[in-house]
A and B are shown apart, each in its own frame.
Chain A
Amino acid sequence: MFEIFGIPSAALFGQLLIGLINGSFYALLSLGLAVIFGMLNVINFAHCAQYMMGAFAAFLLLNLTGLGYWTALIVAPILVGIFGIIIERSLLQWLYKLDHLYGLLLTFGLVLIIEGIARNYYGSAGLPYTVPESLQGGRNLGFMFLPNYRAWVIAASLGVCLATWFVIERTKLGSYLRAATENPTLVRAFGINVPLMITLTYGFGVALAAFAGVMAAPIYNVSPQMGSSLIIVVFAVVVIGGMGSILGAIVTGFGLGIIEGLTKVFFPEASNTVIFVIMAIVLLVRPAGLFGRRA
């Protein structure tokens, strides 16, 4: 057994893997943000509330209708996605022509309202939700104990990230979307319903947040403020990756998860600031982010 900076290599591999798992959450959340920003030019601050709604929906589905984790994984994102579509149609669509700041303020206000409602009815301590029967337990990898649920988190998150990237960057639908962002008037002239596409994109981005919320419910505390503690980090991930860059969000999400994981070993007190230090450095060197294109 060899050592790296006084840390046994086994422990280090374990921490790398854990970083990768956390990174998959960052990637999943920042992916939704990047899709929404890239296509709608809206900074969706409500992402954290929509993530929380996903977890709450999973809890409510289980306790009110008896639907378990696997059903919730499909149903909760659809329900929250529909909620997102209603928000987009009723509020957000009026703000596209205004400065980014208006969208940010509106969605921030939404966060306060949604979290306030959840806190009023369910309190701030949290709600119980357990790991589904089929994913309980884990396996010993030699250097660490890997819970089955965490393995599933990596697999599911990678799958969803790659599928989203593929649809937007490699399919015809994706090319319409990208074209509609560049020049909506011209795309409309070709007979494509641009407002509908934008609405559905927002709904999809919101559904991604809810999906991450359901994934988080068995391992993180399901409480109204569960998203707010994560959203700032996720925004930093999106900024480092380059606002609106899908590949950037995915790669930085996983990368920063690993860096944060290593910080937790070498200097735990700094683990919640390391990402912002990196963000500051990246913004100094490449203001558009690692994968961003200069405007």
Chain B
Amino acid sequence: MKRLLSLTALAVVLAAGSAQAQQLNVKIGVMSDMSSLYADIGGPGSVAAAKLAVADFTKANPNVKVDLISGDHQNKPDVGTQLANQWFDVDKVDMIIDIPNSGVALAVSQVASQKNKLFIVSGAAASDLTGPKCNANTIHWSYDTWMLANGTGAAMVKTGGDSWFFLTADYAFGHALERDTAAAVEANGGKVLGKVRHPLNTSDFSSFLLQAQSSKAKVIGLANAGGDTINSIKQAAEFGIVKGGQKLAGLLVFASDVNALGLQTAQGLTLTETWYWDANDNNRAWTKRWQAERNAAGKFPTMIHAGVYSGITHYLKARVALGGDPDGKAVTAKMKATPTEDALFGKGMIDETGRKRHDAYLFEVKKPSESKYPGDFYNLKATIPAKDAFRQPKDSGCSLVKS
């Protein structure tokens, strides 16, 4: 009798449960560089963007409950791998997002694949993530080295910069960026005269700049990021490289880097980004909310932050559509099958390699006299449509592409 009662009770509870909209529990981990050179392009700003995405989504879908945790990978692949294992196994995290370091991102992508979970890359750049190293559990969101190379590289060659010399950061990201840019330069009829690979976090570039200067290349391509790029540009100005007729191509420059350089030094620099805070009213409104959440009035969000927001939004949509507790491959497939749309990146899609496709923009840094308010950094030179902005799946070398 007792047993029958409890069974009935259970049945009643279950019936009541399905009568309401189904409660959905999701756990997301934001893994980023919280305390070192990439902490401004990702880091706490990515956590703020994730909070905004969750707040917006759960407001419209009150039956979804999202747990957000964050962690620091310290730019070390072993630390990132260990944290990812712990998050997936012990903390039951469903999806990891961000990781602004290609070395760490490539390692975590493997972990996500082994555990059949999901990894959305917003921070890292290496196009290998959707190329030879692609898998069915990784989606690459904001930008990649191929897109940067194709945007800035091709634009510079077309305006006469047909001979190149590279300053390359000596790790996975720098090598990928140099390789992709060299390919874009050569495809457009330019040639590469030489390159020099410098260690990550170098403070003095004068020696490398001198080598670049004596190469007589028309363009010096900076295949590095963050502090390394800032140091190269600052010292290139000092050594009169731009005045001497050579052009600098910052292959990966963020709004935060331009801020650190100051417009006086950065003016005239050509760069490619997929999102700019001051591009339209939507972005400006979101930037205000981001600044309030981040508690940093003078800072401006980067395309990585916007990508975290956009990626989480699309992920949650897929989870609601699928319901229950699907595995990583099922969610990835659903995300690829559904066109993307959100306030920051507009309409887009994810191709079979896991590459999110949206427009990219070629910008030029303003002169100090043209900049009217803090954060007024860029003039838009060209818009590269989504279909051309990123590598075609057939050229990716990714095993997911059916020939």
Contacts and interface: CB of A to CB of B under 8 A. Distances in A.
A149 B239 CA distance: 10
Interface string A236-278: 0000000000000000000000000100110011011000000
Nearest to B262: A128
Nearest to A21: B206
Contact of B210 (A11, A219, A225): A11
Given A131-B238, A147-B240, A220-B231, A264 B207 contact: yes
Interface stretch (B9-17, B37-45, B85-93, B338-346): B37-45
Contact of B170 (A25, A131, A230, A269): A269
Nearest to B230: A221
A205 B402 CA distance: 65
B235 to A, nearest CB: 6
A221 B260 contact: yes
Interface in A111-127: 116, 119, 123-127
For the residues of A in contact with B, the DSSP-based class is mixed
Nearest to B256: A125
Nearest to A128: B262
Interface string A204-223: 00000000000010111111
A268 B38 contact: no
A145 interface: yes
A127 to B, nearest CB: 6
A126 B36 contact: no
A123 to B, nearest CB: 4
B82 interface: no
Contact of A145 (B39, B41, B201, B240): B240
Contacts, number: 123
Contact of A125 (B170, B207, B214, B226): B226
B383 interface: no
B239 A138 contact: yes
Given A125-B260, A128-B265, A265 B296 contact: no
A268 B208 contact: yes
Interface centre among B37, B207, B239 (most CB of A within 10 A): B207
Interface string B242-276: 00100000000010110111101100000000000
A15 interface: yes
A127 B207 CA distance: 23
Given A127-B260, A225-B227, A19 B39 contact: no
B196 interface: yes
A46 interface: no
Contacts of A125: 40-41, 226-227, 230, 254, 256-257, 259-260
Contact of B213 (A145, A219, A220, A261): A145
A221 B238 contact: no
B238 A149 contact: yes
A11 B39 contact: no
Nearest to B265: A130
Contact of A123 (B199, B240, B261, B299): B299
B234 A219 contact: yes
Interface in B137-180: 170
B25 interface: no
A144 B210 contact: yes
Contacts of A130: 262, 264-265
A22 to B, nearest CB: 5
B203 interface: yes
B273 to A, nearest CB: 15
B58 interface: no
A219 B36 CA distance: 20
Given A219-B238, A268-B198, A11 B211 contact: yes
A177 interface: no
21 contacts: A11-B214, A18-B207, A119-B35, A124-B40, A124-B43, A125-B226, A125-B227, A125-B260, A126-B260, A138-B239, A149-B238, A150-B206, A216-B203, A218-B238, A220-B204, A223-B37, A223-B227, A223-B260, A229-B201, A268-B196, A268-B208
Given A125-B41, A144-B210, A264-B196, 6 more contacts: A18-B206, A124-B35, A126-B230, A128-B260, A221-B260, A268-B208
Which 6 pairs across A and B sit closest by C-beta, in order of nearness? A128-B262, A126-B260, A125-B40, A264-B207, A125-B256, A272-B199
